[in-house]
Amino acid sequence: MSETLANLSSETRQFPPPEQLAADANVKADAYDEAAADRLAFWAKQAERLTWAKKWEQILDWSNPPFAKWFVGGELNIAYNCVDRHVEAGRGDKVAIHWEGEPGDTRTITYAELLKLVSQAANTLTDLGIGAGDRVAIYMPMIPEAAVAMLACARIGATHSVVFGGFSVDALATRIKDADAKLVITADGGYRRGKPSALKPTVDEAVAQSPSIENVLVVRRTGQEVAWTGKDKWWHETVEQASPEHKAQAFDSEHPLFILYTSGTTGKPKGILHTTGGYLTQTSYTHNAVFDLKPETDVYWCTADIGWVTGHSYIVYGPLSNGATQVMYEGTPDTPGRDRFWQIVDKYKVSLLYTAPTLIRTMMKWGDDIPAGYDLSSLRVLGSVGEPINPEAWMWYRENIGRNRTPIVDTWWQTETGAVMISPLPGVTATKPGSAMTALPGITADVVDDQAQSVPNGGGGFLVLRDPWPSMLRTIWGDDKRFIDTYWSRFGAGAGSSDEGWIYFAGDGAKKDDDGAIWLLGRVDDVMLVSGHNISTTEVESALVSHPSVAEAAVVGATDPTTGQAIVAFVIPRGNVDTSGDAGEQLNVDLRNHVAKTLGPIAKPRQIMLVPELPKTRSGKIMRRLLKDVAEHRSLGDVTTLQDSAVMDLISAGMKTTK
Ligand code: 6R9
C-alpha cells in the first residue's frame, strides 16, 4: 500500500443491544471510561479474577520493549485456575464439557472428573520425564483428551505446541524440531466426514525424523490398527492407571505456556510464544465480557478446532478459567447431515455460539430451511472470528440463527494477540453488519497511514495496536529478531524513530467509518493496487456476496499490463443457480456490473471464474496466495496448510472451461 486504503462501501444498518441483555450485562459502558482513566489499574483488576499463589509486584514491565512482562513477580498455576478452584468452590458436579463425537457417541465431563483426568495426565507426563520448561507436541482430534493434554502440560509447567490434526508429516516434523519437543501426544485417529481418519501414521513418520522425541502417548479413539514403536505408550495403559492425586505447583507469571505456529505468507512458520499470567487474565476477562458469560446458566459452544488459537483461548483457557459449561464437537458440520450444528444447539440448549464466517457462508449456501427446522431459542449471543464477516453473511446469521433477537459479536484478534482485541460488547454496542466496531476496554487500536499518522474517520490504512496488552505474544520462539522485524519495525520506535512509541503492526488493512467504528479489510499483503488505487479484497468480496446468486467469493489482484493489477474473482454460485452455457456467461456479466454499481467502476473485476470450492486453511481462511498463482498462471506455492488439496485441481479444471 502506498498511501491509504480506498473506502468504497458504506453501511447504514445498526442494531442496538436487546434491552434486557443490556440491563443484565456483565460489562457495561463504564468499563471503557474506567480503562481509559487508568489502563494498568484496569488490567490489574481483571487479573484479580484469577487465583494467584503469589501476588505480582509490578503490573507491566515495558522497560525493554518490545519484550513485555506482565504481573511481574506473580505466581499462579493455570490448570489450578481452570479446574481445581472450581471443584474447591463446591462446583465439582458442574458439567465442564458436553462432548459430542461425530458418530453420535457422547461424554459428559464434570469439573471434578476433569480434575481427575488432568491430575492423572500430569502424573504420567512427569513419569515420562517431562518437567517444567520442556516442550510437548500435541497432535489430536477434537476429543476431551486434547484439552486434558494441554491442561496437564500447563499444570507441570511444560510448554505445549498443538499442531492441527490435519497437517502433514512435514508440517508436524518442522514444528517438533523447531521447538525441540520431547514428547508427542496423539491418538490413533479421529472421526471426520463419517469415517475414522488416521493420525498415528503421520506421527510415526514425523517422529522418525525427530530425534528429540523420547516418547509418544497415544489415545485410543477409533480403534483402528496402528503400527507400534518402542517409543509408543497407550494413554489408557498409562494416564488412566495413574494416581488422580496431583498437587499443582505455581509458576512465574512469565513462564512459557504454549507455542503455536502461524504460517504467514512466506518463510518458515513462526512459533508464537505465550506466557502465563497475562494470557490467562485477558482470555478470562474477554470470554466473560464479549460473550456476557453467566457460568451458572449459559451453555457455550465454540466450533473451532483445538489446533487453532481460537481453540486454545476460547475452548480451553478462557471458558474453563471462568467455570463455564461448554459443548465440544469432534467432527464436520455436514455429518451425518447438514443440520448437525443446529441439532447440537437444540440438544444442549446452547446459549452462546462462537463460529467462523466460512461456516456461516457455507450454511447460507446450504439454505435457510435447514436451521429453520430447529428450536434455536436458547441462543443469546452469537460470535464470529477468523475473517472479515461480509455484511450479507452477518445479516443471514442474525436473521436465520439469531432470529433477529441476539447480538452478534464480530471479534478481531490473532494468534499473536492471544485474546480478542476489537469487538462489540453485547450489552453495550449498537452493532453494524460487517464491523468489529471498537477496541475492547484496556486496548488501544488505531488505523494509520504509512507515516503512522492516525487516519481521520472515513479513511483507511493499516491496523495497529499502540499499547502493550496482557495476552500479547512475548516473542517468536527462538527468533527475537524476527519478532521485532515482523511486528515492531514498520512504525514507531521499532522503525528507528525515537520520538514515537512502540507500535504493533498487525498486518491487516482497516478503515474507520464516520462514527469511528473499525472495519477490517483483509491482510495488507492481499491489497490490490488497481490504476493507482489501493482496493481491499474484502470490499469486493462483500459486494459479490451481496448478489443473490453468490454463495462465496474470493478476489485477488493479478498482474495487468494496463492497470498494474486487475481484479480477478473466484465465485461459488448458490446451489440453485444455473451456470451452464449462456446463463453462466450472463451471470458473469451481471456480477461484474453488480460490483461496479455497488463500489464504483474502479472495483469492477476484470475476470470472474465460477468455481465449485475455494482453497482454505484448516481454520477456514481463504488462501488467496494460491488463487493468485492460478490467476497469474504460475505453478502453486506451498500447499501444506491447505485443508483439502483436491480443491486446487477442481479450480484449475474449472479455469479451462470458464473465461
Ligand atoms: C483468531 C484468529 C489472524 C488473522 C487476522 C485477520 C483475520 C481474525 C477477524 C479477522 C476480520 C475478524 N481475522 N478475526 N479479520 N475480522 N473478526 O483468527 O487468529 O488464525 O492468527 O488469524 O485473521 O486477518 O490478522 P489467526
Instruction: Convert the pLDDT of each residue in 75-101 to its tens digit.
Output: 999 999 999 999 999 999 999 999 999
Burial class of 1 by CB neighbour count within 10 A (0 to 12, 13 to 18, 19+): middle
Pick from 487, 496, 447, 448: nearest CA to 469: 487
The runs of H, that is alpha helices, within 219-366 are: 235-238, 277-290, 309-311, 318-321, 340-348, 357-366
353's enclosing H/E stretch is strand 352-355
Task: Identify the residue whose C-alpha is closest to ligand 1 atom 2.
Answer: 414
CA distance linking residue 162 with residue 150, whole number of Å? 8
Burial class of 386 by CB neighbour count within 10 A (0 to 12, 13 to 18, 19+): buried
**Is residue 262 in contact with ligand 1, taking CB distance under 6 Å?**
yes
**Is residue 305 in contact with ligand 1, taking CB distance under 6 Å?**
no
Instruction: Check residue 498 and give its pLDDT.
Output: 62
Cell readout for 638 is: 506451498
Instruction: Check residue 617 and give its pLDDT.
Output: 85
Task: Identify the residue whose C-alpha is closest to ligand 1 atom 19.
Answer: 414
Is the separation of the CB atoms in 443 and 423 below 8 Å?
no
310 annotated as ligand-binding = yes
**Is residue 622 in contact with ligand 1, taking CB distance under 6 Å?**
no
Task: Identify the residue whose C-alpha is closest to ligand 1 atom 1.
Answer: 414
502 annotated as ligand-binding = no
**Is residue 410 in contact with ligand 1, taking CB distance under 6 Å?**
yes
CA distance linking residue 247 with residue 249, whole number of Å? 6
The order of strands in the sheet holding 518-523 is: 445-448, 460-465, 504-512, 518-523
What angle (nearest 5°) sits at the alpha carbon of residue 82, between those of residues 315 and 53? 145
Task: Identify the residue whose C-alpha is closest to ligand 1 atom 26.
Answer: 414
Is the sign of the CA dihedral 180, 183, 186, 188 positive or negative? Answer: positive
Cell 480403534 -> residue: 223
205's enclosing H/E stretch is helix 200-208
Residue 160, SS3 per DSSP: strand
What's the CA-to-centroid distance between 98 and ligand 1, angstroms? 27
Cell readout for 245 is: 492425586
What's the CA-to-centroid distance between 411 and ligand 1, angstroms? 8
List 272's β-bridge partners, or say none.
260, 476
Cell 473485476 -> residue: 605
Is the separation of the CB atoms in 231 and 216 below 8 Å?
yes
What's the CA-to-centroid distance between 230 and ligand 1, angstroms? 41
Is the separation of the CB atoms in 27 and 423 below 8 Å?
no
**Is residue 426 in contact with ligand 1, taking CB distance under 6 Å?**
no
End-to-end CA distance of the chain: give it in Å, rounded: 29
For residue 378, the one-letter residue type is: S
Buried b or exposed e, range 288-305, using 16+ CB within 10 angstroms = bbbbbbbeeebbbbbbbb
151's enclosing H/E stretch is helix 144-156
What's the CA-to-centroid distance between 142 and ligand 1, angstroms? 21
Task: Identify the residue whose C-alpha is closest to ligand 1 atom 11.
Answer: 388
For residue 570, the one-letter residue type is: F
Give the largest Cα separation in the chain, rounded: 72
**Is residue 619 in contact with ligand 1, taking CB distance under 6 Å?**
yes
- CA 360, chain centre distance (Å): 15
Is the separation of the CB atoms in 345 and 374 below 8 Å?
yes
ipTM comes to: 1.00
CA distance linking residue 440 with residue 420, whole number of Å? 8
For residue 543, the one-letter residue type is: A
List 54's β-bridge partners, or say none.
75
Upstream peptide bond of 201 is cis (omega within 30 degrees of 0) = no
Task: Identify the residue whose C-alpha is closest to ligand 1 atom 12.
Answer: 412
Instruction: Check residue 552 and give its pLDDT.
Output: 94
What's the CA-to-centroid distance between 358 and ligand 1, angstroms? 12
**Is residue 207 in contact with ligand 1, taking CB distance under 6 Å?**
no
Task: Identify the residue whose C-alpha is closest to ligand 1 atom 16.
Answer: 388
Cell readout for 323 is: 467455570
458's enclosing H/E stretch is none
- For the chain, the 3-state helix, strand and coil shares in percent, each to the nearest 5, are 35, 25, 45
Is the separation of the CB atoms in 530 and 565 below 8 Å?
yes
410 annotated as ligand-binding = yes
Cell readout for 183 is: 514428547
State the pairing for strand pair 159-162/256-262. parallel
Upstream peptide bond of 66 is cis (omega within 30 degrees of 0) = yes
| Ligand 1 pocket mutation, candidates 262, 308, 355, 387, criterion most atoms within 8 A of CB | 387
Which of the 8 DSSP states describes residue 495?
G
State the pairing for strand pair 475-476/270-275. antiparallel
What's the CA-to-centroid distance between 81 and ligand 1, angstroms? 27
Task: Identify the residue whose C-alpha is closest to ligand 1 atom 6.
Answer: 387
| Ligand 1 pocket mutation, candidates 508, 538, 617, criterion most atoms within 8 A of CB | 508
What's the CA-to-centroid distance between 616 and ligand 1, angstroms? 14
**Is residue 415 in contact with ligand 1, taking CB distance under 6 Å?**
yes
Instruction: Convert the pLDDT of each residue in 304-342 to its tens digit.
Output: 999 999 999 999 999 999 999 999 999 999 999 999 999
Is the separation of the CB atoms in 536 and 611 below 8 Å?
no
Residue 59, SS3 per DSSP: strand
Buried b or exposed e, range 393-402, using 16+ CB within 10 angstroms = bbbbbbebbb
Could you give the count of Cα atoms lying within 13 Å of 323 in the half-sphere of its Cβ?
20
**Is residue 120 in contact with ligand 1, taking CB distance under 6 Å?**
no
387 annotated as ligand-binding = yes
List of residues 6+ apart from 168 with CB closer than 8 A = 202, 640
CA distance linking residue 65 with residue 503, whole number of Å? 10
Is the separation of the CB atoms in 96 and 131 below 8 Å?
no
**Is residue 283 in contact with ligand 1, taking CB distance under 6 Å?**
no
531 annotated as ligand-binding = yes
Buried b or exposed e, range 519-551, using 16+ CB within 10 angstroms = bbbbbbebbbebeebbbbbbbbbbbbbbbebbb
Instruction: Check residue 494 and give its pLDDT.
Output: 85
CA distance linking residue 287 with residue 407, whole number of Å? 15
Is the separation of the CB atoms in 470 and 443 below 8 Å?
no
Is the sign of the CA dihedral 307, 308, 310, 312 positive or negative? Answer: positive
List of residues 6+ apart from 45 with CB closer than 8 A = none
What's the CA-to-centroid distance between 414 and ligand 1, angstroms? 5
CA distance linking residue 74 with residue 78, whole number of Å? 12
**Is residue 465 in contact with ligand 1, taking CB distance under 6 Å?**
no
Instruction: Check residue 659 and give its pLDDT.
Output: 40
Residue 75: CB atoms within 10 A of its CB come to 18
Cell readout for 123 is: 502424573
User: Counting atoms of ligand 1 from 1, which one is nearest the CA of 308?
Assistant: 20
CA distance linking residue 452 with residue 474, whole number of Å? 23
Instruction: Check residue 402 and give its pLDDT.
Output: 98
Mean pLDDT by 10-residue block, N- to C-terminus, for the chain (659 residues)? 73 95 98 98 98 98 97 98 98 98 98 98 98 98 98 98 93 96 98 96 97 98 96 98 98 98 78 98 98 98 96 98 98 96 98 97 92 97 97 97 98 98 98 98 96 94 96 98 96 76 95 96 93 93 95 95 94 89 93 95 94 88 91 79 75 57
